[in-house]
Amino acid sequence: MIFIFGANDKIVKQQQCYNQEHCYHCNNTTKWILEKNATYASLFFISVFPIKTRYIHYCPICKNGNQLNEDEYNWKKNAH
Ligand SMILES: [Zn+2]
């Protein structure tokens, strides 16, 4: 029996921030995108469980952004 293992990236959740942020890269002030990504282990091309989770926050215009830790992500997600 042959097993095919792999890994694939998925966007788990994507939302717009409530507060506007200034981007020093493209010089625009806009609502940034908050995104949760996960790398899933897959078996026969079906995602089975997440191996790694990443939280990112980026400018929707130039895609310049930074990585957040889980606490920062939750804080931004709930900030009004
Ligand atoms: Zn930008």
- In order, the DSSP letters of 53-65 are EEEEEE-TTT--E
Mean pLDDT across the stretch 27-53?
93
Give the contacts of 60 (CB within 8 A, at least 6 positions apart): 16, 30, 31, 32, 33
CA of 42 to the centre of ligand 1 (A): 34
pLDDT of residue 16: 93
CA of 77 to the centre of ligand 1 (A): 20
- 32-71: b (≥16 Cβ within 10 Å) or e: bbbbbbbebeeeeeebeeeeeeebbbbbeeeeebeebeee
pLDDT of residue 3: 83
pLDDT of residue 79: 77
Tell me the average pLDDT of the chain.
92
Q: What are the tokens at 12?
A: 């788990």
CA of 29 to the centre of ligand 1 (A): 8
